[in-house]
């Protein structure tokens, strides 16, 4: 402003300065708004009036800024809704509205009040409206939708299920039949009552009535919400059998189960040990498009798998693994990805269950889940490979079993740990494969041997001493020493491999089982000369060979060698020697056994029960 004031003398100094506007300047003197203008009787022209003053409270303005109170004059007469109607009490306003609204109007009003949750006014307006007359002077006739709004208002205001049943019975006075929505509101009141035992019978009867009525009147048949409410009430009342029966009925009718109801069904079946019923529910859900997407939480899936594996329920275990895979896939598809991993111990138990229950589907599924969980970051643990070999052997799938053995050797065959030797022992780890090879006698053993021989000549040859050891021990199990010895000799001559300690142990076992103790001893002396170190199983087999020949002194000498080689004799080994000493009356050797048991702190116990059987005196006299 100072700049403009200082600039005025500069502007006035220009002699030829002219204004831009061509309108002559009109001098006006300001006046107060309330002062009436002076009368000019001499003026011959009339001027148009100014717009009304905002401060005068004109009806064209919503409010007066000087007075916050709205005037009741001309503004009240120009309002759309009369002011007395707005200022009256809600009850009076509802009564007034009930005299003017028709069915469509009251439905629109209720629709607006539902969004604002104006339940009290909705209840009062319906009660006034139903006792009022329409424009023709006849009583208002509600329809089912109006009654449903009234039922909902009472439900939201805390009315009991008995009150809602009474309201629903009033529909018959107007020739109306309660539809599905009406019954669902009543069932919801029962569900929310907090007393499931008191209402469960009425809820079941109401559902049965809906089923019967729905055969003639489709709009009254139960829907998904009806089944959810009744089944949820049955679960709350601990009536699990009835709840599962209605779950099965809902699935047969093609309805969709809610996720909460599905989770409750899973929890209840687990708690009551109704695993077979749970399997049928899951299978029915998988067969329907609307229910196949049901998926319990991750923790519940893990718990379900654990329960199924403990019960050796292969079908339920497979379903739980399927749920876990869907969680893994879902985590991989989100951004950023969530990499979920199934515990390998759980999958190891699943492989064992597949072997015990002879379920090939569970075997394949568990192994696929294991590989997907590991994501090629490492190889499965040795226990997982052995469990898979056991499962294939139990199913009689020898080709798959030996293929798994090949993968096992590639993954852990070069391990230098002390326990790595036992991983490929036909007496312990691979014994299920040995049993499968000799299940049908020499026919299966010959088939396995020829397949191994053919694989050794393939383009990518497969040669395995562990596989041939299984064949040798299988021949020993069927008392066929000739096949066992020929297979042992073929390790070097045909396959070009070197026998390991398990090969020699299998041959010692074959000789010792037939009572050929000297041949078994010669095998031991042979590989000792070759520099092969015996293991604990070697000494155990030699002890058994000597005991079969009833020579406890030779057996105890083997134990002494075993102790000298830094191995500890087992309790079972010492008990077998002591038993043979008792029968052979070799008390010196028996004392030596006692010394060893004390040295290694092994409690052998007593043989009283065995001695009683051993000392029985049989007689032909009748015991009267």
DSSP assignment of 218-248: GGGS--HHHHHHHHHHHHHTT-HHHHHHHHH
Q: Name which of 53-67, 143-157, 210-224 the model is least confident about.
A: 53-67
Q: Categorize the per-residue pLDDT at 461 as very low, low, confident or very high, splitting at 50, 70 and 90.
A: confident
Q: How far apart are CA 188 and CA 155, in angstroms?
A: 8
Q: How far apart are CA 466 and CA 449, in angstroms?
A: 12
Q: How far apart are CA 195 and CA 241, in angstroms?
A: 19
Maximum average pLDDT range among 18-27, 59-68, 242-251, 539-548: 539-548
Q: Name which of 32-41, 84-93, 172-181, 318-327 the model is least confident about.
A: 32-41
Closest residue by Cα to residue 254 from 278, 227, 214, 215? 227
Q: Is pLDDT of 35 > 70? A: no
Cβ proximity of 315 and 282 under 8 Å: no
| Three-state DSSP class for residue 139 | strand
Q: How far apart are CA 253 and CA 489, in angstroms?
A: 68
Q: How far apart are CA 354 and CA 352, in angstroms?
A: 5
Q: Categorize the per-residue pLDDT at 543 as very low, low, confident or very high, splitting at 50, 70 and 90.
A: very high
Helices marked H in 254-293: 259-271, 275-287
pLDDT tens per residue across span 198-211: 888 999 999 999 98
Closest residue by Cα to residue 309 from 280, 277, 352, 274? 352
Q: How far apart are CA 556 and CA 543, in angstroms?
A: 8
Q: How far apart are CA 612 and CA 441, in angstroms?
A: 38
Q: How far apart are CA 503 and CA 535, in angstroms?
A: 12
pLDDT tens per residue across span 552-606: 999 999 999 999 999 999 999 999 999 899 888 888 998 999 999 899 888 887 7
Q: How far apart are CA 231 and CA 247, in angstroms?
A: 7
* Alpha-carbon torsion angle 431, 434, 438, 442, nearest 10: -150
Is-cis flag, bond preceding 559, omega within 30? no
Q: Which residue has the tokens 């990805």?
A: 337
- pLDDT above 70 covers a percentage of the chain that reads 83
Cβ proximity of 385 and 411 under 8 Å: yes
Cβ proximity of 320 and 305 under 8 Å: yes
pLDDT at 51: 58
Copy the structure tokens of residue 42: 């001499």
DSSP character at residue 71: P
Q: Which residue has the tokens 């309002």?
A: 79
Mean pLDDT of all residues in 2-19? 46
Closest residue by Cα to residue 339 from 365, 376, 388, 383? 376
Mean pLDDT of all residues in 502-527? 93
| Three-state DSSP class for residue 407 | helix
Cβ proximity of 422 and 428 under 8 Å: yes
* Alpha-carbon torsion angle 91, 96, 102, 104, nearest 10: -50
pLDDT at 363: 96
pLDDT at 54: 52
Q: How far apart are CA 52 and CA 39, in angstroms?
A: 20
pLDDT at 482: 92
Q: How far apart are CA 185 and CA 191, in angstroms?
A: 10
Q: How far apart are CA 542 and CA 559, in angstroms?
A: 9
Q: What angle do CA 485, 527, 469 make, to 5 degrees?
A: 40
**Neighbour count for residue 11 (Cβ, 10 Å):** 9
Distances in Å between the alpha carbon of 548 and those of 31, 274, 554, 587? 138, 51, 11, 18
Cβ proximity of 380 and 408 under 8 Å: no
Dihedral pair phi/psi, residue 269, rounded to 5°: -65, -40
- pLDDT above 90 covers a percentage of the chain that reads 45
Cβ proximity of 493 and 505 under 8 Å: no
Q: How far apart are CA 189 and CA 203, in angstroms?
A: 10
Mean pLDDT of all residues in 229-253? 88
Q: How far apart are CA 593 and CA 571, in angstroms?
A: 11
Dihedral pair phi/psi, residue 506, rounded to 5°: -65, -40
Closest residue by Cα to residue 426 from 447, 401, 400? 401
More confident of the two residues 338 and 26? 338
Q: How far apart are CA 402 and CA 404, in angstroms?
A: 5
Q: What is the largest CA-CA distance in the chain?
A: 165
* Bridge partners (DSSP) listed for residue 133: 139
More confident of the two residues 66 and 490? 490
pLDDT at 9: 47
């Amino acid at each position: 402003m100072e700049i403009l004031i200082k600039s005025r003398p500069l502007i006035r100094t220009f002699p030829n300065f002219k204004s831009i506007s061509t309108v002559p300047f009109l001098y006006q003197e300001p006046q107060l708004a309330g002062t009436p203008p002076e009368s000019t009787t001499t003026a011959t022209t009339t001027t148009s009036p100014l717009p009304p003053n905002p401060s005068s409270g004109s009806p064209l303005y919503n409010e007066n800024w000087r007075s916050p109170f709205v005037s009741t004059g001309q503004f009240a007469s120009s309002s759309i809704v009369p002011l007395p109607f707005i200022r009256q009490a809600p009850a009076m306003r509802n009564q007034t509205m009930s005299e003017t609204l028709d069915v469509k109007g009251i439905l629109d009003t209720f629709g607006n009040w539902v969004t604002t949750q104006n339940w009290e006014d909705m209840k009062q307006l319906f009660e006034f409206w139903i006792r009022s007359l329409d424009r023709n002077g006849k009583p208002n006739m509600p329809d089912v939708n109006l009654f449903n709004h009234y039922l909902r208002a009472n439900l939201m205001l805390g009315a009991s299920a008995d009150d809602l049943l009474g309201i629903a019975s009033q529909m018959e006075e107007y020739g109306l039949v309660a539809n599905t929505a009406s019954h669902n509101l009543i069932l919801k009141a029962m569900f929310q009552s907090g007393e499931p035992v008191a209402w469960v019978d009425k809820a079941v009867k109401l559902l049965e009535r809906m089923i019967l009525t729905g055969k003639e009147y489709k709009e009254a048949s139960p829907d998904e919400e009806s089944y959810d409410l009744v089944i949820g009430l049955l679960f709350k009342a601990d009536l699990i059998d009835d709840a599962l029966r209605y779950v099965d009925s809902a699935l047969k009718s093609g309805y969709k189960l809610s996720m909460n109801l599905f989770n409750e069904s899973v929890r209840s079946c687990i708690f009551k040990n109704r695993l077979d019923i749970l399997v049928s529910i899951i299978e029915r859900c998988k067969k329907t498009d609307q229910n196949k997407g049901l998926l319990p939480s991750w923790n519940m899936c893990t718990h379900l798998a654990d329960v199924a594996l403990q019960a050796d329920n292969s079908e339920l275990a497979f379903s739980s693994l399927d749920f876990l895979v869907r969680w893994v896939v879902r985590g991989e598809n989100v951004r950023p990805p969530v990499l979920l991993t199934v515990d390998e111990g759980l999958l190891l138990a699943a492989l064992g269950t597949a072997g015990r229950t002879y379920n090939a589907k569970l075997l394949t599924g568990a192994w696929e889940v294991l590989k997907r969980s590991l994501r090629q970051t490492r190889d499965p643990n040795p226990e997982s490979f052995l469990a898979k070999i056991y499962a294939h052997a139990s199913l009689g799938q020898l080709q798959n079993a030996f293929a798994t053995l090949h993968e096992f050797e590639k993954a852990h065959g070069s391990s230098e740990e002390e326990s790595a030797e036992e991983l490929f022992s036909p007496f312990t780890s691979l014994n299920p494969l040995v049993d499968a090879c000799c299940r049908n006698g020499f026919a299966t053993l010959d088939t396995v041997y020829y397949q191994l021989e053919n694989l050794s000549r393939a383009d990518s040859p497969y040669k395995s001493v562990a596989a041939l050891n299984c064949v040798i021990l299988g021949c020993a199990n069927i008392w066929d020493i000739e096949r066992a010895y020929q297979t042992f000799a073929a390790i070097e001559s045909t396959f070009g491999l070197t026998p390991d300690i398990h090969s020699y142990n299998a041959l010692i076992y074959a000789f010792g089982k037939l009572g050929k103790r000297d041949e078994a001893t010669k095998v031991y002396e042979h590989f000792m000369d070759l520099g092969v170190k015996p293991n604990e199983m070697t000494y155990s087999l030699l002890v058994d060979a000597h005991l079969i020949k009833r020579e406890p002194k030779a057996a105890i000498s083997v134990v002494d060698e075993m102790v000298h080689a830094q191995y500890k004799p087992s309790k079972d080994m010492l008990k077998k020697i002591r038993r043979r000493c008792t029968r052979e009356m070799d008390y010196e050797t028996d004392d030596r056994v006692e010394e060893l048991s004390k040295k290694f702190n092994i409690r052998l116990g007593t043989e009283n029960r065995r001695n009683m059987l051993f000392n029985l005196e049989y007689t032909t006299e009748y015991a009267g």
